[in-house]
Amino acid sequence: MRIKIKTLGCKVNQYESQAIAEQFASLGHQITDKKADLYIINSCTVTKIADKKSRKNILQAKKENPKAKIAVCGCLAELNKNYIKKTGADYIITQRDKQNLINIVLGKKDFFPLSKSPWKLKIKNYPHKRAFVKIQDGCNNFCSFCKIPYLRPRPTSRKKKDIINEIKRLSLKHHEIVLSGINLNLYGQDLGLKDTLSNLTEEVLKLACLGRLRISSLQPSLIDDKLISLISHPKLCPHLHLSFQYGQNSILKAMNKKETVEIYLEKVKAIKKVSPNAAISCDIIVGFPGETEKTFQQTISFLKKVKPMRIHIFTFSPREKTPLANSSLVDKDKVKKRYKILDKMAKDFSLSYSKFFLNHQLEMIAEEEKNGYTTGYSQNYIKVNLKDKIKLGSAAKVKITKVDKNNKVFAKLIT
């Protein structure tokens, strides 16, 4: 059987799709990016736009092969079954049962016994040049805008030995490993006092086979001093994505965030003290209920202090189950105007950060060849364009030679 998997959303979803693909492949099925007999849509529902993208992919699969079976899994399938049924999907598999997808679709239990544990999904290979490793699932923060705690399990952590073994295996082919989870900072809270994210990171950095390690999104208030101290380690990428969301305390409180602006700034200061040129990226929500011109301007002031090298901007959208599901929305025209202001700031910060590294040496991983260039990301998450051709997946020392007005970064190979 030919199987096509489409993945939307986070790194955890991407990891889980790879695990599902490997399960089917182990039984002799063909994973393809062309017309298939079975389509698996691993959905996302973090925003209304994500809902629409998930639905669009289901309908595209139906159109590509009307005779094919469609299996929809992931976060959208947990609370939105009726929404998915209207698309004509054959299987709707909740996030909590994703690890049993192959059993549900094939009706077989011989090779993959039914399980309640998300850790049934493991990988042997990874299709991209940087390998994601899932170490944690679930979140219990219950931010007022987020439905994820209602979709995934309570915070649960993967056993350290299992993580280490997978990293050892993947490091044979991948120079960069990315630790991924729904709320990484919660890693180990269900395992024991010694099993913390910082302790795991320290142990992974000791692996001789490891090229470099990147940590995915982090909750600032839960970043401990030990983890901050590790940022100076030569194998740890000096890039942290911090879940800011906003830069004004009354809105942060309304978001049910555990941080204040003061905590944010304190953590950034501590990170910069250890690694002055570290890359800080973040998410910012515009149009959150209660947002005023004053709170927006305070967020602008906050961002000017932090100067994130990358900002992911999201327009607020009410989500089911959350306290703000039926909240009044900020005027659309004001939201569009503020979005444009943030977008311009984000581009300026990103350009300024890239220009700082002109004539500096960085290490990039060759990820693809496009328009005559080899492209890939540096350790501090700058996308580099290299005229030289080097083996995809390999790491190379490069010197930044040019940054154009559109923040396209060029480099030459250091031999």
Domain coordinates of the chain in residue numbers? 2-106, 126-237, 270-355, 361-413
Fold entry, domain 126-237: Transcription Regulator spoIIAA (3.30.750)
Q: Give residues with Cβ within 8 angstroms of 287, minimum separation 6.
A: 315, 316, 329, 330, 334, 335, 338, 339
Torsion region of 6: left, alpha or beta (phi above 0 gives left; psi -120 to 50 gives alpha) = beta
What are the Cα distances from residue 269, in Å, to 108, 245, 284, 303, 327? 54, 18, 19, 13, 35
Q: Give residues with Cβ within 8 angstroms of 361, minimum separation 6.
A: 397, 398, 399, 414
pLDDT at 113: 83
pLDDT band, very low/low/confident/very high, at 82 (cuts 50, 70, 90): confident
pLDDT band, very low/low/confident/very high, at 257 (cuts 50, 70, 90): very high
What is the mean pLDDT of the segment spanning 56-63?
A: 95
What is the mean pLDDT of the segment spanning 335-343?
A: 98
pLDDT band, very low/low/confident/very high, at 192 (cuts 50, 70, 90): confident
pLDDT at 409: 98
pLDDT at 114: 86
User: Rounded to whole angstroms, how far apart are CA atoms 310 and 241?
Assistant: 9
CATH number for the segment(s) 2-106: 3.40.50.12160
CATH of 270-355 among 3.40.50.300, 1.10.10.10, 3.30.750.200, 3.10.450.50:
3.30.750.200
Q: Give residues with Cβ within 8 angstroms of 79, minimum separation 6.
A: 45, 147, 150, 151, 320, 321
pLDDT band, very low/low/confident/very high, at 274 (cuts 50, 70, 90): very high
What is the mean pLDDT of the segment spanning 19-26?
A: 96
Phi, psi of 372 (to 5 degrees): 85, 5
pLDDT at 95: 85
- Give the rounded percent of residues in the chain with a pLDDT score beyond 70: 99
Fold entry, domain 361-413: OB fold (Dihydrolipoamide Acetyltransferase, E2P) (2.40.50)
User: Rounded to whole angstroms, how far apart are CA atoms 413 and 415?
Assistant: 6
Per residue in 300-335, pLDDT (tens digit) is: 999 999 999 999 999 999 999 899 999 999 999 999
User: What is the average pLDDT score of the chain?
Assistant: 95
Give the residue among 380, 212, 392 at the shortest CA–CA distance from 280: 380
Phi, psi of 5 (to 5 degrees): -115, 125
Do 40 and 69 contact (CB within 8 A), yes or no?
no
CA angle 334, 335, 341 (to 5 degrees): 90
The identity of residue 402, as a single letter, is: K
Per residue in 109-165, pLDDT (tens digit) is: 667 888 889 999 999 999 999 999 999 999 999 999 999 999 988 899 999 999 999
Site of tokens 């639905």? 55
DSSP 87-102: TT-SEE--GGGGGGHH
User: Rounded to whole angstroms, how far apart are CA atoms 70 and 83?
Assistant: 15
Give the residue among 237, 244, 283 at the shortest CA–CA distance from 266: 244
pTM of the predicted structure, to 2 decimals: 0.94
Q: Answer yes or no: same fold for 2-106 and 270-355.
A: no
Question: Which uninterrupted H or E stretch holds 41?
Answer: strand 38-43
Q: Give residues with Cβ within 8 angstroms of 385, minimum separation 6.
A: 373, 374, 375, 408, 409, 410, 411
